Amino acid sequence: MTNNEASVHPLDQSVNLKPLEQGVWQGATSSAYANMVGPFGGTTGATLLKAVLCHQQLLGEPLALTVNFAAPVADGNFEVRARPLRTNRSSQHWWVEMMQEGEVVAFATAVTARRRETWTSTEANLPEVPLASDLTFFEKAGRPPWTRNYDMRFIDGELFGEPNKNEPSQSRLWMRDEPPRPLDFVSLAALCDAFFPRIYIRRPKLVPIGTVSLTTYFHADQQQLAAVGTDHILGVAWANHFGKGFSDQSAEVWSNDGTLLATTHQVVYFKE
């Protein structure tokens, strides 16, 4: 590894894209973000978003991202293709594909937009929780490699812990990239998938799972993300339903000054 490579954050190495032609890039999976099967889905989504942000025709900043995991992503190289489907005065709609061996393994739709100052109100409430500095580190021994790239400090809902009687599938935790990295849309997209599957919170039993579709809504702009810097952000995740082989997950992500940065929703396959 060269000195330049060593100075690049692991996340930036994972989502690095080499341009092949306009709207087409080559990337590669990273062993640092390996999961039980294939790469951590958060980096797959972040890579697809990175292609949009690299595109010459980009308008505005990310507003929404929906990633569909069509097949397991194999270790090794992949190709990403991104194109704007429609551009309006203030918004732009995108189609993005990740391909291996000529087949689509993941694809996304995204919306970017020019934000403007308007009336603002947040109806969700920032939970009253201990500070990150008052909590212990989450133990990573025996966990998938991708977890080592995050500093997680649980308030409740720790993996395979005792479910909360009142909110049995809820997790609340402070989290950030490890080593610390200034927050931006790419890292926020990955962090929005850093919650452990809700079925593992409800039941201390390991079963095969996989995210099928993940949608993230970005409520903050780049200036607000830059203000977070390398601070921890607060994540709150919960499920609404488990059954017939699928479950859902909803989550909120907050800055420590009470800014709602993003909300995210996903549907997950599980096997008994």
Sequential pLDDT tens for the chain (272 residues): 454 556 899 999 999 999 999 999 999 999 999 998 899 999 999 999 999 999 999 999 999 999 999 999 999 999 999 999 999 999 999 999 999 999 999 999 999 999 999 999 999 999 999 999 999 999 888 899 999 999 999 999 999 888 888 899 999 999 999 999 999 999 999 999 999 999 999 998 899 999 999 999 999 999 999 999 999 999 999 999 999 999 999 999 999 999 999 999 999 999 98
Q: Measured between alpha carbons, how far is 129 from 218 in angstroms, rounded to an integer?
A: 23
Residue range 8-115+132-270 in CATH 3.40.50.2000 = no
Whole-model pTM? 0.96
Cα-based distances in Å from 152 to 31, 155, 174, 176: 20, 10, 6, 7
Token reading at 68: 């569909």
Please return the burial class of 122, using the count of CB atoms within 10 Å of its CB with bins 0-12, 13-18 and 19+.
exposed
What is the residue whose two structure tokens read 């490890």?
Answer: 178
Q: Where are the domains of the chain?
A: 8-115+132-270
